Amino acid sequence: MAGTGIQYPDHFITRLQAVWGRGFLSPGGAEEVLRIVEGLDLSGKDLLDIGFGTGGPAAVLAGVGAQVIGTDIEAQLLPHAEATRQASDHADQITLVLTNPGPLPFNDASFDVVFSKDSLIHVPDKGAMFTEILRVLKPGGTFAASDWLMGEGDSPAQVMADFNARGYLDFRMATARQTADLLRDCGFQSIQTQDRNAWYADLAAQEVKKVEDELYDDLVTEIGEEIMQEWLQIRRHLAEAARLGGLCPTHLRAKKPA
Ligand SMILES: C[S@@+](CC[C@H](N)C(=O)[O-])C[C@H]1O[C@@H](n2cnc3c(N)ncnc32)[C@H](O)[C@@H]1O
């Protein structure tokens, strides 16, 4: 799928939401979103969600009081995210904006919190993105995110290199240490990373079983045997990459100096 421009066509959205729940294009649902912002009081806070996907995370964050502006770069996601917004009890707290990759279309010091769930993996120039995130945060503001990172060391790096060489998705991965160093170089402080590999390695194995046993027949009817067979292969490789410590969903927390 790498290189086609659109990375989340409708048939992919159908599959991902079947596994991860309506509104979610990443694992863990509302619980994992809330874990990323644990300890932050979001009530009445201006929050930017980079990569709104189909809108689940934005709805969860609005549910705990945030005024959410979500961005995404893929137009076909917007109707899905808009449906999630409208179904939310907090629709008036959510604004969805399509953007281009690159500079964020917001003034300096616009947000108390910048959030992102498993979206920065697609961003090739993480330094440029972190600099933009720092710029749009208010002084003392918080960056709270999850991203799919690569395990430390030669062997996890090889696992992900092998996965990426298959050309399934356009993943641009860094390790936790590289990410923390880059955040520091860009001007963030109080940087924390939390490796969620152990959690996701278990869950990814369960997801493969769920696709094989529960979801397969219905999804084949919806999107066809060929796409399903290829995707099942991808999911097996992804689960293996997590089991071997190559794929590490990681929570990131950092502050803009006051
Ligand atoms: C794995 S999905 C996660 C979506 C959502 N955050 C979630 O957790 O359900 C990654 C999302 O990032 C979006 N994306 C990729 N590059 C982006 C960028 N430069 N700015 C904003 N969104 C981006 C994709 O279009 C996609 O919706």
Instruction: Per residue of the chain (258 residues), give pLDDT as tens.
Output: 333 478 899 999 999 999 999 999 999 999 999 999 999 999 999 999 999 999 999 999 999 999 999 999 999 999 999 999 999 999 999 999 999 999 999 999 999 999 999 999 999 999 999 999 999 999 999 999 999 999 998 888 888 888 888 877 767 789 999 999 999 999 999 999 999 999 999 999 999 999 999 999 999 999 899 999 999 999 999 999 999 999 999 999 999 999
CB-ligand 1 contact for 37 (6 Å cutoff): no
Chain-centroid distance of CA 52 in Å reads 8
Residue ranges with strand state E in the chain: 46-50, 67-72, 94-98, 111-117, 137-150, 189-195, 247-255
Do 253 and 196 contact (CB within 8 A), yes or no?
no
> What atom in ligand 1 is closest to the CA of residue 74?
25
For ligand 1, the distance from its centroid to the CA atom of residue 71, given in whole angstroms, is 8
The pLDDT of residue 1: 32
Q: To test ligand 1's pocket by mutation, which of 119, 131, 238, 252 has the most ligand atoms within 8 angstroms of CB?
A: 119
pTM over cut 0.85: yes
The pLDDT of residue 241: 93
The pLDDT of residue 173: 84
Q: To test ligand 1's pocket by mutation, which of 4, 13, 72 has the most ligand atoms within 8 angstroms of CB?
A: 72
Four-residue CA torsion sign, 101, 103, 106, 110 = positive
Chain-centroid distance of CA 101 in Å reads 15
Pairing of strands 137-150, 111-117: parallel
Instruction: List, in order of start, the domains of the chain with CATH numbers.
Output: 10-255 (3.40.50.150)
Query: Which letter, b or e, does each residue of 47-75 get, where b requires 16 or more Cβ atoms within 10 Å of its Cβ?
Result: bbbbbbbbbbbbbbbbbbebbbbbbbbbe
CB-ligand 1 contact for 8 (6 Å cutoff): yes
